[in-house]
Structures are given as C-alpha cells and as structure tokens.
Structure 1
Amino acid sequence: MGRAIWDYYHNNNPKDLQTETSISELDELPVDYLFRDFKEMNKIEQKALKLANGKVLDIGAGAGSHSLYLQNERNLEVTALDISPKSIEVCKLRGVKSAVAENMLHFSEGTFDTILLLMNGTGIFQSLNVIDIYLKKLHSLLSSKGQILIDSTDILYMFDEDEDGGFYIPVDGYYGELDYIVHYKGESEDPIKWLYLDFDTLKNAAENNGFKIEKVLQDEDSYLARLTFNN
C-alpha cells in the first residue's frame, strides 16, 4: 500500500490496489481514495476529525489526509504514524510537519490528547488474543484527559443467515478475525491479520484495560467509538 501511495503522489504509473480477505473476494481500491479531502470522507471520519482536539496522534496515517486536515484546517499539532516508510515520506512531501515511520507498539514520543485510529482502526489489533497488548500501549500514549477515537465495522452481515435469524459462522475463533491481503502491480503482500470488532466486543476489551467507552456515531454496520480513562 505504501508503494501505491508513493507511485500516486509521484505520478509513477499508479494502479488500483486490489484487496481480499479470507471471507471476501478480490476488490478494487482506487489509490486516489487515500488522498481524498474532508468533504469526500465518510460520516465517521468527518465526525472524528471534528471531535479531535489538542495534541493529536494519527495512527495508520497512510497518505496523511486526516493529519493534513487537522493540521491545516483545525490548526492542531499532529503526528502522523504509519508502519510504511513510503507512506510517511509522502505525508512529509504533502506537508505533514511531524510524521514517523514506526510500529505503534514501538512508538514512544510523549502523550497525546487525541489518538485517531480510522478506516477500521481496530484492524491494527490483529486478533482478540493480542488486543490487550495494543490497548495497554494506547493507554500509555494517552494524556490524562485524552480521548481515543476509533472506528470499526460489525461484519456479521457478511455471513449467511438461516431461517431463524441466526448466522452460519466458522467455529474457529472470533468471526471478525480475518486474513487480509493486498495486491499491487502483480505483486502480493503476505497475508496479515486484520480485526473487525462489533461494538460490544470492543467495549468489553476497553473496559478490561481501564477505559470508559461510548459509541459516538453509528452508520449502518460501522461505528465510531470514543475511549477515555476510567477515573
């Protein structure tokens, strides 16, 4: 994905990304989608960006569109964080003043008043088995009066429904734990673990790690949640 972002910014014959998961077929993701401005973003993204305040950490920043809006339109101090060096280079070239290429779990540059995890922000947690590790890390990065704004989608609708309203779900693990694969210009990344969480499951995990949680916005099967310290 970082290579696609790089190619698009440099007009280096960019192609659409192709993505697939363990429960869905190949789908096209136009790279220009990652460069959209505020008015082109969905309701959840727009709401999160309006709620952001103080010193902001944008985790999984991609091409930096969220960071740029907060920096340039809201005049907030923003750090864009992404595991992809090419994505972070593009963030810097687009004008993001503070951008870091690093795994979230290894990042330790102070605390933040708002932490953003958008475009299925729960995906970075990978699986329920390790979600506590990520939530504890987020806990350490959040200022005492800070907020985490995170979105996800309950993907139960993707499974077949029986006559009684139940769903046919594989028995091995939580239904929102998927393998996610990105293809670009004939090359394929190794599958990564990607986690979609229903709100109640996120709520349980957040509360078990010392957070209060509220659902800020529901948009069809997707939602935006806000986590704050439970004190």
Structure 2
Amino acid sequence: MDVLGDAIFDYQQGLYTEDIITKSSLDEEDVIPLTHLFRDFEAMPALEQKALNLCKGKVLDIGCGAGSHSLYLQEKGFEVTALDFSKGAVATTRLRGIENSIHSDILNYKENQFDTLLLLMNGIGLAGELKNLGGFLSHLKKLLKPGGQILLDSSDIIYMFDEDDDGGRWIPTHQEYYGEVTYTMSYKNIESEPFTWLYLDQNTLKRAANTNHFNCEIVSLGEHFDYLARLTLKK
C-alpha cells in the first residue's frame, strides 16, 4: 500500500481530484494539499529555502516525496539523488526529470557518500521513535563524506498539549517522548497502516547529536515552533 505515492503520482498524471487526509494520535484530522508537495522554490517556507541555499557538493534528498527540493537543486547544477521508500514518489520524480532517484528505505541504503544529507519537511521524523534516533543518526554518519553536513527541519510540538494553571503541559504517560505521533493517511478511500513520526525539540536533538559525535547548530527559527538545524561531525 502506497497512499502517499499513489496521490503524488495521480497529481503528476493530471488525475488530481482530492487531497490526502491524515489522522493522528493527537486526535486531529488534517489535510496534506497535493499542490503543496509540488511547490516551487518561491512557494517554499523560509526554512526550506534557507536549507536549499546551504546545500553543498553531492546531495542526498532523503524522503524526497514528489521531488520538489531535488528538482530545484538539480536545476541549480547540483549532483542530487532523490531517495524515497514510496514507489509512486520515485516514479513521480523520474517523470519530473530528476536524473538520479532511488527507491529505498534510508536505513537500507549504503551505496554512496554525500556532502549534504537533506531531511526537509521534518524528515528526521523517519526515525519514528526517540529510541531509534541514535541508530538513525549513526547510519546517516556512514553516508557523509568528510566535512559533510546534515540539514534538517523539525518542530517542538509541546504547544499542542493542554496547559495547566502552573504553565506546565498535560503530556500522556504511555509514551517515551511527547514528540512521537502516530498517523494514518487516507486517499481515495484507501487508508495506510499506522506509522509513528518523530518531532524533536531543539534540546533533545542537541543531546542526541552530541551523543552520536555531531555538532548541532540551530541555523534558523521558523514562525511556529519550527527550526532548521545543521549537524556536522566532530573532529
């Protein structure tokens, strides 16, 4: 089942009739507009624009989706590889003219090394749960060339939990970390299996980076609890 890929591929083929619906463990239903996944550079959020401008050398776009970031970088002359676990997404990137695209889970990909690993639209969420973050970063480390960088954006979703009279937050006790959110996606009456996505506050990212021998620089802050970070290997 490839809910995201089916939706993206339909849009590319001119068969757009509806958007993706998401439901989460935060009891919220939301919509992913397919037009948002095909936006050009000018329509991207400032954090994404900043990240693309910071790219250097050979780039791996992890969780590339429809390939909008890869396409921009390719047009700027970068050697970029678009990678996604979704067959429909990878097929779409090829139809859009991206020269190098790979269908793979990032944790199974070991073939090359890169100067920049790009994890946009909260791509660090691919780690799923906080307990997986160390192993995830350890694998990314193997894909970096000497002097390479990881560029990622994420959000601190603490604001989504109810606040008590003392200014604290009511956080469920059944999960290790409040940034772990379980989702399902549906498109044309087909629903995905549940999957967990990880949102990281800055301090948690910094601690995980330090444990895995990365420097962590917060490059920019967004407008709504989001931020752009750059990880580089410690010397």
Counterparts of 1:24 and 1:65, CA distance in 2: 30
* TM-aligned CA deviation for residue 185 of structure 1: 0.5
Amino acid in the other structure paired with 1:129: K
**Aligned counterpart, 1:181:** 184
When the two structures are aligned, how many residues end up with a matched partner? 230
Amino acid in the other structure paired with 2:59: V
Counterparts of 1:190 and 1:44, CA distance in 2: 30
* TM-aligned CA deviation for residue 24 of structure 1: 3.6
Alignment partner of 2:115 out of 101, 106, 113: 113
Q: Which moved more, 1:14-23 or 1:153-162?
A: 14-23
- TM alignment of 1:1-150, pairs within 5 A: 1-72=4-75, 74-150=76-152
TM-score by length of structure 2 reads: 0.96
* TM-aligned CA deviation for residue 91 of structure 1: 0.2
Counterparts of 1:90 and 1:13, CA distance in 2: 14
Correspondence 1:161 to 2:168 = no
* TM-aligned CA deviation for residue 149 of structure 1: 0.2
**Which SS does the other structure have where 1:48 is aligned?**
helix
* TM-aligned CA deviation for residue 14 of structure 1: 3.6
Amino acid in the other structure paired with 1:229: L
* TM-aligned CA deviation for residue 224 of structure 1: 0.5
Correspondence 1:210 to 2:228 = no
Q: Is the Cα contact below 8 Å between 1:4 and 1:14 reproduced in 2? A: no
Q: Is the Cα contact below 8 Å between 1:8 and 1:31 reproduced in 2? A: yes
Counterparts of 1:186 and 1:58, CA distance in 2: 30
Counterparts of 1:12 and 1:85, CA distance in 2: 17
**Aligned counterpart, 2:230:** 226
Counterparts of 2:226 and 2:16, CA distance in 1: 33
* TM-aligned CA deviation for residue 13 of structure 1: 4.0
Amino acid in the other structure paired with 1:83: F
Any runs of at least 4 consecutive aligned residues in structure 1 with deviations exceeding 4 A, and if so which? none
Counterparts of 1:198 and 1:121, CA distance in 2: 14
**Which SS does the other structure have where 1:69 is aligned?**
helix
Amino acid in the other structure paired with 1:120: N
**Which SS does the other structure have where 1:151 is aligned?**
strand
Structure 1 stretches of 5 or more lacking a match? none
Q: Encode CA deviations 1:5-28: one digit per residue, 9 max, x unaligned.
A: 000000124411001210042111
**Aligned counterpart, 1:152:** 154
% identical aligned pairs: 50
* TM-aligned CA deviation for residue 182 of structure 1: 0.5
Q: Encode CA deviations 1:20-72: one digit per residue, 9 max, x unaligned.
A: 21004211111111000000000110000000010000000000000000010
Counterparts of 1:92 and 1:148, CA distance in 2: 24
TM-score by length of structure 1 reads: 0.98
Correspondence 1:170 to 2:172 = yes
**Which SS does the other structure have where 2:61 is aligned?**
strand
* TM-aligned CA deviation for residue 109 of structure 1: 2.0
Structure 2 stretches of 5 or more lacking a match? none
Q: Encode CA deviations 1:53-102: one digit per residue, 9 max, x unaligned.
A: 10000000000000000010x21000000000110011011010000000
Amino acid in the other structure paired with 2:68: S
Q: Which moved more, 1:4-13 or 1:189-198?
A: 4-13
